[in-house]
Chain A
Amino acid sequence: GENVEQHPSTLSVQEGDSAVIKCTYSDSASNYFPWYKQELGKRPQLIIDIRSNVGEKKDQRIAVTLNKTAKHFSLHITETQPEDSAVYFCASLGQDNYGQNFVFGPGTRLSVLP
Chain B
Amino acid sequence: DAGVIQSPRHEVTEMGQEVTLRCKPISGHDYLFWYRQTMMRGLELLIYFNNNVPIDDSGMPEDRFSAKMPNASFSTLKIQPSEPRDSAVYFCASSWDIANTEAFFGQGTRLTVV
Contact = CB atoms under 8 A, between A and B. Distances in A.
Interface string A85-114: 000010001001111111111110000000
A3 B104 CA distance: 22
Given A106-B42, A107-B42, A43 B105 contact: yes
A103 B41 CA distance: 12
B108 interface: yes
Interface of A: 31-32, 34, 36, 42-46, 49, 51, 89, 93, 96-107
B108 A43 contact: yes
Given A42-B107, A44-B43, A44-B105, A51 B56 contact: no
Contacts, number: 54
Interface residues of B, number: 19
The secondary-structure label for the interface of chain A is: strand
Contacts of B108: 43
Interface string B87-114: 0000100000011101101111000000
A99 B100 contact: no
B93 to A, nearest CB: 8
